Amino acid sequence: MEAMNPDIMVQVTDAHGLRDVAADAATRLQAAMRSLATRDT
């Protein structure tokens, strides 16, 4: 599984209001990927 880095969204749009949203998204994506990586198949 692969996910786009949410910080790129901030860099591409230069919308400073997205920084908090991107940080939250990054935290959630990392947690989801860790959860999937540790699941038994």
Residue 24 lies in a domain: yes
Confidence label for 6 from pLDDT (cuts 50, 70 and 90): confident
14/8 Cα distance (integer angstroms): 9
Residue 11 lies in a domain: yes
Q: pLDDT tens for residues 13-38? A: 877 788 899 899 999 999 998 898 88
* Domain assignment of residue 29, given as a range: 6-37
Domain count, the chain: 1
33/15 Cα distance (integer angstroms): 26
Q: What is the pLDDT of residue 24?
A: 93
Residue 26 lies in a domain: yes
Residue 1 lies in a domain: no
For residue 41, pLDDT beyond 80? no
Q: What is the pLDDT of residue 28?
A: 94
Nearest 5°: phi and psi at 15?
Answer: -95, 105
